[in-house]
Chain A
């Protein structure tokens, strides 16, 4: 069954504020790490992603 909620993380790099969403913690970690590596040539620790993530309603 698909959850009605998604995981969301806002990248707080100065001047970025990119909103990243995924269906699971694992998916969010992968997507955020990909963004931070590609956009900022850096990395975000898994724990930071989980600690900064929120749950949002799935868009219809």
Chain B
């Protein structure tokens, strides 16, 4: 087919109206957009009937322990969805239309993950209203490290909104370096720390629990679908961090400072890790190290070996979400 040609002189302002280029469409971020579009799934199409049957036979104390995790995920998915707008603002301010396109799928997926938890909680344990869910929510900031070495901060419900406000404030200045720095901090916290390290073992714990109990197939399937989406989210964030650091290599300490602020949350065990006797506790701590080292590799930063040692230190065994001591 012949290539279209036009003889009209090109105005510089007209060029700014078009963002698609062949190079952009060959890029990794655009690939993620295409994959996300091709991988759309619908929580309402999962079959929850077996989960309803299983729920009726699961002992109350086990069911309550599982709800401690699923309710926290439900709240977490809503919290991250609410804090995505600054990412879109930053992509717009940094003139990255490929980031903007991919982030449109990111926002939809986080909202859909929240919808999955709404569907599952409404259909299986039959709780959905805020006053029905809140009693199961584990207050992470109430966790106590008996050694006193680590401060436990609420990363999802306090840290992320605070970092998101920094991005919005930076975008309003119009200063590119301020925007890049604030976005670097947000991406590191959200995609690197929260999604990329902290949450991965929790997903695996739910999947492993469903497998060990031979129960709740819709919950297991939903978590697997969510994890697949999260794989794109996390690697988008870490690749964006790498891109920003390529322009500002002296900003690598900024990445470590973000992990350091929420060090206690990563070092401690994930809630529920001690609640299911069938689970191998060490597996999730060792796996956390793998996820941290993976994220550092993707971001192009040198891992903090002291953080790795602390994650693997068996004497540091306080459980995030459980008041220890």
Q: Please report the C-alpha to C-alpha distance between residue A47 and residue B239 in the assembled complex, in whole angstroms.
A: 12
Task: Annotate A1-20 by CB proximity to B: 1 below 8 A, 0 otherwise.
Answer: 00000000001111000000
Q: Please report the C-alpha to C-alpha distance between residue A45 and residue B238 in the assembled complex, in whole angstroms.
A: 15
Cβ of B307 under 8 Å from chain A: no
**In the complex, are the beta carbons of A40 and B287 less than 8 A apart?**
yes
- Min CB gap A58→B, angstroms: 23
A-chain residues with CB within 8 Å of residue B312 when the two chains form the complex: 14
**In the complex, are the beta carbons of A41 and B235 less than 8 A apart?**
no
Partner of A48, one of B204, B231, B280, B286: B231
Q: Please report the C-alpha to C-alpha distance between residue A40 and residue B286 in the assembled complex, in whole angstroms.
A: 9
* Number of interface residues, chain B, beta carbon within 8 A: 22
Cβ of B139 under 8 Å from chain A: no
* Number of interface residues, chain A, beta carbon within 8 A: 15
**In the complex, are the beta carbons of A48 and B283 less than 8 A apart?**
no
B-chain residues with CB within 8 Å of residue A50 when the two chains form the complex: 235
Q: Please report the C-alpha to C-alpha distance between residue A12 and residue B298 in the assembled complex, in whole angstroms.
A: 12
B-chain residues with CB within 8 Å of residue A14 when the two chains form the complex: 286, 289-290, 308, 312
Q: Enumerate chain B interface residues (CB-CB to A < 8 A).
A: 204, 227-228, 230-232, 234-235, 238-239, 280, 283, 286-287, 289-290, 293-294, 297-298, 308, 312
A sample of 18 inter-chain contacts (CB < 8 A) reads: A11-B290, A12-B293, A13-B286, A13-B290, A14-B286, A14-B289, A14-B308, A14-B312, A40-B290, A42-B287, A45-B227, A47-B235, A48-B231, A48-B234, A48-B298, A51-B239, A52-B297, A52-B298
Q: Enumerate chain A interface residues (CB-CB to B < 8 A).
A: 11-14, 40-43, 45-48, 50-52
